[in-house]
Chain A
Amino acid sequence: MRKKHRLRKEEVQGIVFANIPLLGFCIFGLLPLIVSFYLSFNSFKGLRIQTAEYVGFENFKEIFKDDLFYQSLGNTAFVLLATVTALVLSVIVSALIATNVRGAKGFKAVYFVPYVCSMVAITFMWKWIYDYNYGMLNTTLMEWGWIKEPIDWLGSEDYYRTAMFILLVWSSMGFNIILLTAALLAVPRELHEAAEMDGAGEIRRFFKITLPLISPTIFYLLIIGLIGSLQEFTRFQIMTSDGGPGYQGLTVVFYLYRKLFNASGGSDLGVASAMGWIIAVLISAVTLVNFKLQRKWVNYD
C-alpha cells in the first residue's frame, strides 16, 4: 500500500518536472500565437491593442499587393543563396581538413572564430573594410590596379549584394565546418581502402563514398541554415539601417521590424502580425520541401 502511494507521488513529480518547459511554451509561445492570429485580422492605430478593429483578410491583401514585400522576399532568397554557397564551400574545406593534414585542430579552431563573435561587431568590421574612401578593399584594389575609381560597396545597387554575400559566407562557415569535420571523421577507413583497391580516384571516392555518408549532417546544416537565413536581420540592419541601396538590404524580418516600429508613426500591428504568419508559413514550407526531398539524396544507413 505504501509503495503504491509513493509511486503515485513520484509520477506526479515526474510529470511536473518534465513539463515546465512545455508550460513555458504555452505562456510565451502558444498564447502569443493565438493573439497573433487575432491581430492579423485586425487593424490598429499605433501600437495600441485597444483600438483593434476587425478587417478580415485586409492585412494579408495589403501585404500581397506590396511591391516592397516581394522585393524583401527576393532579398531573403539571396540570403538563402549565400547560405547554400557557404555550405558547399564548407564541405570542400572540411574535405581538405579530413585528408589527414597536420594542424587540423588549429585550422578548425581558426575557422570557428567568427561564430563566437557578435554579428554586430563582425558587421562593423566589414563595414570598415568596405569603406568607400578609406577602406582596405578599395585601397588595395586600386594599388593593385584592378580598379581606377573606388567602388561604393555599400551604397551602389551594383555592388551591395556582392559585399553582403562575402560577409554572409564569411560568417556562416565555421559552424558548418565543425560539424562536417566531425562527420567526416566517422567515415570508416576500410571503405576508402576497398574503393582504392578497385582503382577509384580520390575525387571519385569522395563523391561515391564520403558524400553519401555525411549527407545526414549536410541535410541538418541545410535545414538549420535555411531557417536561419529566412530570419536574417542583424547583419543587414547594422550594415545599412535604411534598407540599403534600392532596399536591397531589406530582408523580410527587417521589413517586419520596420512595420512594427515605423519611425514615421505608421506602425501597423495587424500587418506586422500577418507578415509574421507569412514568414512562418514560408519557413515551414521550405523545411517541409526539404524533408520531402531528403529521401532522394540523404543516406541514413
Chain B
Amino acid sequence: MIKARKRKEILRKIIIYSGLILFALFVLVPFAIMLISSLKHKEETIGSFTWWPKLGMTLKGYVNAFEKVASSTSILEGFVNTMWIIIPPTVLGLLVSTLAAYAFAKMRFRGKNVMFGLLIATMMVPGIVTLVPSYIIWDYLGITMTAPYVPLMIPGMFGAAACVFFMRQAIFSIPDSVIEASRLDGMGPFGCFVKIVLPLVKPALLSQGILGFVAGYNDYFGPLIYLKSDYQTLQIAVSVFSDRYSGDWPSILAANVVAIIPTVMIYVFVQKYFIEGITAGGEKG
C-alpha cells in the first residue's frame, strides 16, 4: 500500500519535471541554435544543418555586423540612436507620471476622482486609431522630414496612464505622517516630492523605468513608420542589415544576437525589478 503510493508519487514527480524541462528546452534551444549558427563559417550554413560547427568557429559574422556600410545605419550607430531616442522620454515620462501619481495619492484638490477616471479612460483608446492621424499631423508640420525622431520622443515625455496607476499604488504605501512632517518643515509639495517621495519609491521607479526602457529599446513599429533613413534605431538597423545580408545567416544571426544582448543583460542583472513591475501590473486586473 505504502509502496504503491510511493511509486505513484515518484511517477508524478517524473511527469512534472520532464514537462518543465522539455518546455525549458523548447524555450532555450532556438537561442542556442542562433548563437552557435552566428559563430559558424558561412560555408557551413549552406548545406545540412549541423548542431556543432565542424569547420570551427569564427567571428566573421560579428565583424560583418559591426561593419559600417555607406548610406545605411550601422548596428553601433543604431544602438546610439536608440539610446538618444528612448532614454529622455523614458526618464522624463517616468518622473512626470510619478509627479501625477503623487498628486493623486497625497495631495488635496477638487475634482481628483473625475480627473483620475479620465486618465484611466485614456488607456481604453487603442493606439492604432491615432497612428495614421499622428503621422499626418507630424508630416503636415514638416517634422517627419526634418526631425523624424521627435514624434517618437515627445509624446512619451508626458507620462502614461498605466505608469501613473502603478506609481500611485507605490506612493499610497508612504504614511501620510511622513509627508505631513516634511510639510511642517516648510517644504512645498514639489520639494516634498523630490526630497521625500522619490527616494522612498526608488524600487517602483526602477521597475517601471526598466520595463519602459526595454519596451522602447525593442519597439519596431514606431521607428519603422517615422525613421525612413536617418536616425534609425537598432531594431530598424538590424532588420535592414538582415535583409541586405539575406542568405548570409551567420552575419544575420550575429547582428540579432548583438541586438538582444543588452536587454538580456539587464534581465539577468535586475530580474527582480522586472518581475515586480510586471506582477504589480497584473494585480490591478
Contacts and interface: CB of A to CB of B under 8 A. Distances in A.
Best-surrounded residue of B110, B164, B282 (most CB of chain A within 10 A): B282
Contacts, number: 270
Contacts of A63: none
Given A13-B189, A110-B27, A233-B221, A179 B259 contact: no
A197 interface: no
Given A17-B102, A216-B285, A22 B119 contact: yes
B31 A125 contact: yes
Interface string A245-285: 00000000100110011000000010011001101100110
Contacts of B109: 10-12, 14-15, 18
Given A116-B266, A170-B27, A279 B129 contact: yes
Interface range, B side: 35 or more
Given A21-B96, A124-B242, A125-B34, A14 B128 contact: no
B214 interface: yes
B253 A113 contact: no
B153 to A, nearest CB: 11
B271 interface: yes
A98 to B, nearest CB: 10
Interface of B: prevailing SS? helix
B20 A101 contact: yes
A260 B132 contact: yes
Contacts of B204: none
Given A29-B125, A118-B263, A231-B126, A101 B16 contact: yes
A131 B252 CA distance: 13
A272 B263 CA distance: 34
Interface stretch (B44-52, B66-74, B172-180): B44-52
Interface range, A side: 35 or more
B31 A113 contact: yes
Interface of B: 16-17, 19-20, 23-24, 26-28, 30-31, 33-34, 37, 45-49, 96-97, 99-100, 102-104, 107-112, 115-116, 118-119, 122, 124-137, 139-140, 154-155, 157-161, 164, 188-190, 193, 214, 217-218, 220-221, 224-225, 235, 238-239, 242, 249, 252-253, 256-257, 259-260, 263-264, 266-267, 271, 274-275, 278-279, 282, 284-285
18 contacts: A17-B102, A18-B107, A27-B158, A97-B20, A112-B274, A116-B260, A120-B220, A124-B238, A125-B30, A128-B33, A129-B30, A134-B47, A182-B282, A230-B126, A256-B131, A272-B132, A276-B130, A279-B128
